[in-house]
Structure 1
Amino acid sequence: MSVKLSFANLDKLSENVARPGYVPTDLTPGIVHFGVGNFHRAHQAVYLDDLFGKGLGHDWAIVGAGVLPADAAAREKLKAQDWLTTVVEQDSGHMAARVTAAMVDYLVPGDADGIIARLADPQIRIVSLTITEGGYFIDPASGKFNPESPEIVADARNPAMPKTAFGLILAGLARRRAEDVAPFTVMSCDNIPHNGRVTADAVVGLARIIDPDLADWVERNVSFPNGMVDRITPATTERETRFLADEFGLEDAWPVFCEPFRQWVLEDRFPAGRPALEKVGVTFVDDVSPFEQMKIRILNGGHAVIAYPAGLMDIHFVHEAMQEPLIAAFLERLEQDEIIPTVPPVPGVVLEDYFRLIQQRFSNPRIGDTVRRLCLDGSNRQPKFIIPTIADRLKAGQGIAGLALESALWCRYCHGTTDSGAVIEPNDPNWERMQDTAKAAKDDPSTWLAMEDIYGEVGRNPLFAETFAGHLKTLWELGARETLRRFLA
């Protein structure tokens, strides 16, 4: 019989479930975090749980916050189990479960007054975010903040009752300024190049519309460190909750399953103070850019390389995609020939070894990561993970045949059917647009590349356009499997 997760039941947990090495009720908050999803709970919260277990940083506990409708349901699940989360690490030779207690509260989504009041609290010295690549209101082609986004325009018109994370952060900073309270540090934990700068652009960009003086104050006084985060963390399904109950005797309404590997590299710019995360494996550097580019291009780009052919071949799990020789060979060819050569040297890292580790991580049969998750949100991910690599190679006069095929595979996927004819359910915030454009591109490939906000100059390059069109034609005539076979031959 399984035990329901709660403070009261921590002593009743099975011996094979690790529990917090501290008294959770002794913690006090120091961080407000927007976007309490699986990745945050398997990454930032785990690092803090480790730190608290060493008897350090007990004034840096997390207060959750959210702005999406789904956040209310997530809050209710976590509230019912005293904000506790079970994290299960798995690979072929390792499985371990632990209960983490780094979060001590979760603000009511939609309660702008309550969220702003907590942001203004002097106890809060860091505000962090995992709101996905698409949550930063970036113009994909320019990579810059788009002040004309409808949500930003709405917050600018009603700054006292904002609905975006950036509107709430700005309102919290404005109140701290008015009350002469030192500003908090804003720390993005999303997979975006220069995520700190991107976050600053959003907060300052919104402030420019509302109050230029406030924008100047934010620029002068608020720190936005860049960071690189890494841990493969799939979505939770009934499969995971059932497994946890069967294998560990623990009932958790929203557990997290993840790989054992994790990495966090941060620029050490925290004027309001920070937890001593270097004690638990976080790397602090002056400039995170080399680590960031390595991860985004080799790992996130690699995910895109295997995702779309696997999706078209009706492959469900990522490790199954890696077991398909054509997909594994495509990843190897594209990484070695076109992606890794664009990555500058990284201090203390051999890029070839890094790629071999990624191949092992993608092949982990226990993690249950899905191809559909990797295919998600290409309209926001491709301009960050793939297209900059294409642009660099074109500028250098280098080949882009494999990257053009990756782009053609994405286009073919967005048509909405696999090679077997199975329907691909909507899998992008802009799915209707992507599907309509992909259908038009079947007869006129230039239609796909004409999405200026996604491809920019790359879409206008004659070599890329010709290569892309040839690959797309072959995909429609022969399917993904034969197209890969011919490319590799």
Structure 2
Amino acid sequence: MKTLNYETLNEIGYDGYLLKDAPERVLQFGEGNFLRAFVDYFIDMLNEKTGFNSKVVLCQPIAPGLADKINEQEGLYTLYLRGFQDGAKVNKKRIISCVTRCLNPYNDFEEVLKCAENPDLRYITCNTTEAGIAYDPSCRFTDVPASSYPGKLTQFLYRRFQTFGSETGKGFVILSCELIDNNGKELEKCVLQYAAQWELGDDFMNWIREENLFCSTLVDRIVTGYPRSEADSINEENGYIDNLIDTGEIFGFWVIEGPKSLKEELPFEKAGLPVLITDDHKPYKQRKVRILNGAHTSFVLGAYLAGQDIVRDCMNDEVICGFMNKTIYDEIIPTLTLPKEELEEFAASVTERFKNPFIDHALLSISLNSTSKWKARVMPSLKGYLEKTGTLPKCITASFAFYLAFYRGQELKEDGFHAVRGNDEYIINDDRAVLEFFNAHKQDDAVSLTHAVCTNTDFWGEDLSKLPGFEESVAQTLKAIEENGTYEVMKACLA
């Protein structure tokens, strides 16, 4: 079989949608699985549905990357979006053709900077991981390239400014996809810091502010990447070798914070795509973190101790799934600000996503860093519910007891805090200070452990024992877990 490219597709008589020639209107920092299954998928759909007529040039953000493979395949790759949708199993295949090439700035940064001279270029997208948007004062303007992503972007924007001056309309719409709060604004802040540090001039800094739109965005899709165990059979079925096969869940949602005029420029709505352009992305981020992530964090530790290993299997257990749904619908949704109908629709999609037959999502992998996760994802719902109703949310309170029971390890080693579930050993992974704390309290009884954890302000940023009745209720629930197990506690919450 031949490697995937346009000639190969012509030879096998491929008759699906392809866009071979179009101007490069998008520069993307990041060539990994996520952006190719998310942003590039949406752009490819825009091209087909609305005549957006845009190609994407990729730039790998770190030295090791996929540039050679992408260029060998002329930017083409096969994407599979799989899961449950409206109660049915779905497996959608699409060849993505919006990518032209991938540049390696560590081999030829000048080629990247030349893209800034392209008058058609209008959009910059990026996902350089949570650590990518960071200001490193050791970066210099003369570095080839700057080591930080914001440093590279500043160099790129300066070349644009040098080429077109302050000409109106030659700035960029910059869509940041990193998983940090206010990602677009944080990126803009870093760029302006570099412009000041490198003394690139007031005119340039004013141009950054006035001609460029740094959009904060929320991204939501689980991307499972290259399907190593299935790749050979997929290639055999397709009749070509694709070294860049990408897979993800069918669900996808992108919220972009920007002015209404952006809806005309980026006609996602016209294409019927799940992309929302709004003046405030925060309620949608809160919805995702509280419902999707909060649901995970609320039930997985208890479900693991009850003998489950995979999220999908939990959804087939009436008690565990019931506990999760009661947490979401009765205790989390009432604390959120979006319309109830929207929240419940999103919640229903969460259950379908967790049932995905193509993803074996291990509970232990979700358990990583559960202390900070509980603080960020669940604690706001606990406090919001208490403030709104004056009572403790039963399931959320129980989830804190599940967390304490899960973190009752026996031996602290280099690779984590070792604990036991029945006849199995599992490893608790968290910040070392967290593990050392629990190791120091491993002999505590339920009441003492609950008090120690609730009053640890380093964990929560406040003293949780001050929440009326919380410490006492958690200690009681932890005793019930010791006597009857987490499964029976979940059952009691549903009674």
Kindly provide the CA deviation profile for residues 401-434 of structure 1, in whole angstroms up to 9, marking residues without a partner as x. Answer: 533444554563674546246555786xx65455
Asked whether the 8 Å contact 2:327–2:396 carries over to 1, the reply is yes
Relative to 1, partners in 2 of residues 1:294 and 1:448: Cα closer, same or farther, differing over 3 Å? same
Which of 346, 355, 378 aligns to 1:363? It is 355
Structure 1 residue 53 corresponds to structure 2 residue 44: no
Relative to 1, partners in 2 of residues 1:440 and 1:66: Cα closer, same or farther, differing over 3 Å? farther
After TM superposition, give the deviation of residue 255 of structure 1 in Å: 1.9
After TM superposition, give the deviation of residue 340 of structure 1 in Å: 0.7
The match for 2:490 is 484
Relative to 1, partners in 2 of residues 1:249 and 1:470: Cα closer, same or farther, differing over 3 Å? farther
Relative to 1, partners in 2 of residues 1:157 and 1:107: Cα closer, same or farther, differing over 3 Å? closer
Relative to 1, partners in 2 of residues 1:392 and 1:215: Cα closer, same or farther, differing over 3 Å? farther
Instruction: Name the amino acid aligned to 2:346.
Output: Y
Kindly provide the CA deviation profile for residues 255-302 of structure 1, in whole angstroms up to 9, marking residues without a partner as x. Answer: 222333333333344789944333322333333343333233222322
The match for 1:255 is 245
Instruction: Name the amino acid aligned to 2:124.
Output: V
Instruction: Name the amino acid aligned to 1:362.
Output: F
Distance 1:306 1:331 in 2: 6
Distance 2:428 2:195 in 1: 34
Which of 252, 269, 276 aligns to 2:267? It is 276
Distance 1:257 1:403 in 2: 33
Structure 1 residue 334 corresponds to structure 2 residue 327: yes
Q: 1:158-177 maps to which residues of 2 (within 5 A)?
A: 161-177=145-161
Which of 212, 221, 225 aligns to 2:215? It is 225
Q: Which structure 1 residue ranges, 5 or more long, are not aligned?
A: 138-146
Instruction: Name the amino acid aligned to 2:247.
Output: F
Asked whether the 8 Å contact 1:291–1:346 carries over to 2, the reply is no
After TM superposition, give the deviation of residue 373 of structure 1 in Å: 5.3
Which of 58, 75, 78 aligns to 2:70? It is 78
Instruction: Name the amino acid aligned to 2:177.
Output: C
Helix, strand or coil for the counterpart of 2:226? coil
Distance 1:86 1:255 in 2: 5
Q: 1:74-223 maps to which residues of 2 (within 5 A)?
A: 74-91=66-83, 92-108=88-104, 110=106, 113-114=109-110, 117-118=113-114, 120-122=116-118, 123-133=120-130, 135-136=132-133, 152-155=136-139, 161-179=145-163, 180=165, 182-204=170-192, 218-223=208-213
Distance 1:215 1:449 in 2: 47
After TM superposition, give the deviation of residue 99 of structure 1 in Å: 1.1
Distance 1:375 1:392 in 2: 24
Asked whether the 8 Å contact 1:116–1:168 carries over to 2, the reply is no
After TM superposition, give the deviation of residue 319 of structure 1 in Å: 1.5
Distance 1:206 1:438 in 2: 42
Relative to 1, partners in 2 of residues 1:99 and 1:252: Cα closer, same or farther, differing over 3 Å? same
Asked whether the 8 Å contact 2:117–2:159 carries over to 1, the reply is no
Relative to 1, partners in 2 of residues 1:202 and 1:30: Cα closer, same or farther, differing over 3 Å? same
Structure 1 residue 22 corresponds to structure 2 residue 19: yes
After TM superposition, give the deviation of residue 331 of structure 1 in Å: 1.0
Structure 1 residue 67 corresponds to structure 2 residue 61: yes
Instruction: Name the amino acid aligned to 1:98.
Output: R
Asked whether the 8 Å contact 1:390–1:403 carries over to 2, the reply is yes
Bigger RCO (CA 8 Å, 6+ sep): 1
Deviates more, 1:414-423 or 1:231-240: 414-423
Instruction: Name the amino acid aligned to 2:51.
Output: L
Structure 1 residue 42 corresponds to structure 2 residue 37: yes
Distance 2:22 2:350 in 1: 36
Distance 1:155 1:99 in 2: 39
Helix, strand or coil for the counterpart of 2:215? coil
Relative to 1, partners in 2 of residues 1:96 and 1:457: Cα closer, same or farther, differing over 3 Å? same
After TM superposition, give the deviation of residue 96 of structure 1 in Å: 2.6
TM-score, with normalisation over the residues of structure 2? 0.76
After TM superposition, give the deviation of residue 254 of structure 1 in Å: 3.3
After TM superposition, give the deviation of residue 100 of structure 1 in Å: 0.6
Q: How many pairs are equivalent?
A: 465
Asked whether the 8 Å contact 1:51–1:276 carries over to 2, the reply is yes
The match for 1:321 is 314
Instruction: Name the amino acid aligned to 1:41.
Output: R
Q: Which structure 2 residue ranges, 5 or more long, are not aligned?
A: 408-415
The match for 1:267 is 257
Asked whether the 8 Å contact 2:59–2:112 carries over to 1, the reply is no
Distance 1:416 1:118 in 2: 53
TM-score, with normalisation over the residues of structure 1? 0.77
Kindly provide the CA deviation profile for residues 93-144 of structure 1, in whole angstroms up to 9, marking residues without a partner as x. Answer: 332312112222222164583476156334432221234456545xxxxxxx
Kindly provide the CA deviation profile for residues 363-416 of structure 1, in whole angstroms up to 9, marking residues without a partner as x. Answer: 122344444554456577555533443443455455255334445545636745
Distance 1:207 1:344 in 2: 38
Larger radius of gyration: 2
Which of 33, 36, 43 aligns to 2:28? It is 33
Relative to 1, partners in 2 of residues 1:398 and 1:74: Cα closer, same or farther, differing over 3 Å? farther
Deviates more, 1:255-264 or 1:455-464: 455-464
Helix, strand or coil for the counterpart of 1:344? coil
Q: In angstroms, what is the RMSD of aligned CA positions?
A: 4.1
Relative to 1, partners in 2 of residues 1:203 and 1:14: Cα closer, same or farther, differing over 3 Å? same
Kindly provide the CA deviation profile for residues 167-219 of structure 1, in whole angstroms up to 9, marking residues without a partner as x. Answer: 22233223434442643222123455544334444444665666695666644
